[in-house]
Every structure is written in structure tokens, then in C-alpha cells.
């Protein structure tokens, strides 16, 4: 012990007096140490807007909003957004860093309480990602297998969570393809659930819906019907509400009302809202108690997590309550109209911030998309265009130019597909395209 103390004392004496004092302050940062923290930041590396090269950026410039986000020209997903100056500032403003495993982090507790008041649910639990939120919810609802889950065949739980429901909950997943091409209906749910004691089957104990899905808003009336049916059958109803903020911003229903029809909901902070990370699960107190248990099992119970929950709270205030999602919807509509003027059609209707092009409708080969986008200084790689709150007007204009170029190329080929650029298989996207 004495050796350690002497060694530390010697270390501090090597600093200038002001530096040594700052060393102690950085161990227990407060709001008054913002300038000190910034003063000791080294230049950091940030990807540039138009290429894969990097440039030096001062941390202070980011906090003060002097640097444009590299996501300003990135249409791949709304997950690519970077923390805003106010989100970074919220981290520096944290006065006490508590332990969330012991429920002692006031920043996290305040976020969870705020979400409870915003949504009308009695309990909430912050989780590290949307996938974790869905998976701990599913595991907390399901008890003893055999059991099955009915869901939309296009949903995140079925396609993009690495088979988590099968691995963690031993559940049979029953994907249903909506006949209307937009959303599940009560009739389709009724036809798909397993409501039988026959030992050949795994009884349905859970229905998972997603809103939005592919940017499409699920009608509130359909949600009401499915909710009533689920309650009648004693089946739990979970909502992957990663982009539910977009639904509300687009006039698809009141947040509290939509959520009231579900036993559990997972809301994402890092997609439309643009926080660095995290989601939150809401539901009844007993259910959230189980969620916390399974969050621990998955390694999601963290210590001083206020550095993530502070930006999440700021994201709600700044992006959702601040009305910035509305602009993303307006820009998406603009791109839809630009595509229509070129004769193009959509795969799905544009309800919110996503524009799903149908490249084949005008003879465009989708493998040309990333090629032409890169020439224009954009990041965009599949037929899905996602507009987020950091997209700039210049990027929209450049993308409209890319759309024109793609159609021009198709016309030059007389609508035939290029043999050098064959169509990709369903699950053959490159690793850097995994931005569901």
C-alpha cells in the first residue's frame, strides 16, 4: 500500500501544479470541470462526409457544433447519426456517476421515470440495444417451452436478431407475410396462431408486432383489434417500437394510446432519435423485474451508464419533442416525388422517413446504386433510402442527381440488366450494409 502511495505521489509531482489538480478533478468530474476536460482532449479522428478518408477534428469543435456530422451525406440508415453537441454536453453535465446495477445512477433513473410518464407504463428498463430490448422482452414473457411466437415475416425479430428467440427462448417463430403488403391484419393473426393442446404443436404464447416496419405505419384500428384478440386468448403482445417516434411524428396516433394496447414495448434511442446507443423496455413492474434479470444474463447490466442515458434523454427532447422528425418525413416525400417524376415506382408506401425504390420499375440495376452514390460523395447502397435528422439539403440535391443518373444509365441499356452487375441474393449484402 505504501509503495503504491509513494509511486502515485511521485507521478503527481511530475505534473505542473495546475495539471496535478486537474488530474484529481478528472477522477470525479463535475459540471465545473467542463473546460478542464476539453482542455486535455487530444485531436480525434472522424470520417469525412464524402469518402472513407479521415481528418483531424478537435473534440471541442464537436461539442460546440462547429463540425458537420459525417452522417450528413449518409442515406444507409438512421443508425449512422452521430451525437449532437447537446448530447455530448449532457455527458459533461453529469454531476454524479452512480451504479445502475444497484439502481443508483440518477441520470438513468431519471430517464426511466421520464419514459414512464411519457408512455403511461408503470416501469421501464434501459438496455444497450434494440435487439437486446426485444430479446429480453420475449424471454421475460415466455416461461416453459414448447411455445411459439407469431410475427410479421419482414420484422426485425425474425430477420435481423441472429435467431435470438430460438437461442434464448427456445421459441418457434411463425412468420406471416401480410397479404396487403403493408401490415398484418387480425384475420392473418387468427389464422396463424397455434391455439391447441395437440402435442404435435407449440402453442402460441406471444405475438410480436413492429411499428414502423419498412417505414410503414401500422393502423391504430388494426392494433386495437389484435390487442383485444390477444387478451381474449391469454396471449401476450409485444411491440418492437424502435421507430415508434416516427409514427407519432407522422400523425399515426398518440404515443400513450398506441402503447396502451401492448404488454411490452421496446423503444430505440439510436435510430430516428440519433443518440449514440441504447433502447428502453417498458411494461408492468413484475415484467420489468424479469427484464432486468435477463438483461443481467446477457451482460447488459452496466455500471456508470449515465454517459449513455444522458444523451438518450437529450435525444428525446431535441429530436422527438423538438419536432425534427417531421423534417425527415418531408424530405422523404420530396425524394419519393423526384423518383416518381423519373417514372419510378416504390416497393412500399412512404409513410415516414424511408423511401423504398423499385429499381426494376425503370430498369435500374440495384448493384449500380453504391457505385453512382460514391461518385456523388454519398453513402447509399441498396434500394432503401433512409432520411435522418442530420441529412443536409445538399445531400438531398446530390441524391436526386444520382436518381437521374441511374435512370439515365438504364435507358442507355434499353432497360436491360447489366451482366457485369448481377442482382444480389436476399441475404448476400456486404458486411458494411448490415444497418437494419
pLDDT digits (tens, 9 = 90+) for 175-215: 999 999 999 999 999 999 999 999 999 999 999 999 999 99
Average pLDDT in the 249-277 region?
A: 97
CATH of domain 100-320: 3.40.640.10
pTM of the model: 0.84
How much is the mean pLDDT over the chain? Answer: 86
Over the range 172-202, which residues count as b (16 or more CB within 10 Å of their CB) and which as e? bbbebebeeebbbbbebbeebbbeeeeeeeb
Cα–Cα–Cα angle for 430, 208, 345, nearest 5°?
50
Domain with CATH 3.90.1150.10 in the chain: 324-433
Within the chain, all domains assigned CATH 3.40.640.10 are found at 100-320
pLDDT in tens, 398-421: 999 999 999 999 999 875 655 555
Q: Maximum distance among all alpha carbons in the chain?
A: 82
Q: Percent of the chain beyond pLDDT 90?
A: 78
Q: How many other CB atoms sit within 10 Å of the CB of residue 310?
A: 24
Share of the chain above pLDDT 70, in %: 80
CATH architecture of 324-433: Alpha-Beta Complex (3.90)
HEC string of the chain equals: CHHHHHHHHHHHHCCCHHHHHHHHHHHCCCHHHHHHHHHCCCCEEEECCCCCCEEEECHHHHHCCCCCCHHHHECCCCCCCCCCHHHHHHHHCCCCCCCHHHCCCHHHHHHHHHHHHHHCCCEEEEECCHHHHHHHHHHHHCCCCCEEEEEECCCHHHHCCCCHHHHHHCEEEEEECCCCCCCCCHHHHHHHCCCCCCCCCCCEEEEEEECCECCECCCHHHHHHHHHHHHHHCCEEEEEECCHHHHHHCCCCCHHHHHHCCCEEEEECCCCCCCCCCEEEEECHHHHHHHHHHHHHCCCCCCCCHHHHHHHHHHHHHHHCCCHHHHHHHHHHHHHHHHHHCCCEECCCCCCCEEEEEHHHHCCCHHHHHHHHHHCCCECCCCEEECCCCCCHHHHHHHHHHHHHHHHHHHHCCCCCCCCCCCCCCCCCCHHHCCC
Q: What is the mean pLDDT of residues 128-145?
A: 97
Q: What is the pLDDT of residue 69?
A: 86
Amino acid at each position: 500500500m505504501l509503495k503504491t502511495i509513494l509511486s502515485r505521489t511521485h507521478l503527481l509531482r511530475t505534473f505542473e501544479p495546475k495539471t496535478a489538480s486537474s488530474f484529481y478533478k478528472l477522477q470525479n468530474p463535475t459540471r465545473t470541470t467542463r473546460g478542464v476536460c476539453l482542455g486535455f482532449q487530444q485531436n480525434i479522428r472522424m470520417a469525412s462526409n464524402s469518402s472513407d478518408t479521415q481528418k483531424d477534428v478537435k473534440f471541442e469543435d464537436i461539442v460546440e457544433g462547429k463540425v458537420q456530422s459525417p452522417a450528413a451525406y449518409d442515406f444507409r440508415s438512421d443508425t449512422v447519426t452521430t451525437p449532437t453537441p447537446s448530447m455530448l454536453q449532457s455527458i459533461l453535465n453529469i454531476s454524479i456517476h452512480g451504479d445502475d446495477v444497484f439502481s443508483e445512477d440518477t441520470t438513468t433513473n431519471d430517464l426511466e421515470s421520464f419514459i414512464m410518464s411519457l408512455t403511461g407504463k408503470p416501469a421501464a428498463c434501459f438496455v444497450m440495444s434494440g435487439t437486446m430490448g426485444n430479446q429480453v422482452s420475449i424471454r421475460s414473457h415466455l416461461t416453459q417451452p414448447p411455445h411459439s411466437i407469431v410475427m410479421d415475416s419482414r420484422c426485425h425479430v425474425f430477420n435481423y436478431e441472429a435467431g435470438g428467440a430460438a437461442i434464448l427462448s427456445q421459441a418457434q417463430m411463425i412468420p406471416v407475410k401480410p397479404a396487403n403488403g403493408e401490415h398484418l391484419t387480425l384475420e392473418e393473426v387468427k389464422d396463424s396462431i397455434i391455439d391447441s393442446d395437440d402435442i404435435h404443436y407449440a402453442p402460441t404464447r406471444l405475438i410480436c408486432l413492429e411499428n414502423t416496419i419498412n417505414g410503414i405505419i401500422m393502423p391504430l384500428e388494426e392494433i386495437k383489434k389484435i390487442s383485444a384478440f390477444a387478451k381474449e386468448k391469454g396471449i401476450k403482445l409485444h411491440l418492437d417500437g424502435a421507430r415508434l417516434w416516427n409514427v407519432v411524428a407522422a400523425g399515426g396516433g398518440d404515443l400513450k394510446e398506441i402503447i396502451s394496447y401492448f404488454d411490452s414495448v421496446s423503444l430505440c434511442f439510436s435510430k430516428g432519435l440519433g443518440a449514440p446507443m441504447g433502447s428502453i423496455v417498458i411494461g408492468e413492474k413484475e415484467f420489468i423485474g424479469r427484464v432486468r434479470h435477463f438483461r443481467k444474463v446477457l451482460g447488459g447490466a452496466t455500471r456508470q451508464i449515465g454517459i449513455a442515458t444522458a444523451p438518450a434523454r437529450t435525444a428525446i427532447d431535441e429530436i422527438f419533442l423538438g419536432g425534427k422528425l417531421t423534417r425527415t418525413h418531408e424530405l422523404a416525400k420530396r425524394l419519393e416525388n423526384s423518383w416518381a417524376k423519373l417514372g419510378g415506382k416504390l416497393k412500399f408506401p412512404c409513410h415516414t422517413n424511408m423511401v423504398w425504390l423499385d429499381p426494376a420499375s425503370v430498369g435500374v440495376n440495384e448493384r449500380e446504386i453504391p457505385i453512382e452514390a460514391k461518385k456523388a460523395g454519398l453513402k447509399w447502397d441498396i434500394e432503401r433510402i433512409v432520411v435522418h435528422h442530420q441529412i443536409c439539403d445538399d445531400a438531398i440535391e446530390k441524391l436526386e442527381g444520382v436518381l437521374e443518373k441511374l435512370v439515365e444509365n438504364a435507358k442507355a441499356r434499353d432497360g436491360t440488366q447489366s451482366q457485369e452487375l448481377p442482382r444480389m441474393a436476399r441475404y448476400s449484402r456486404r458486411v458494411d450494409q448490415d444497418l437494419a
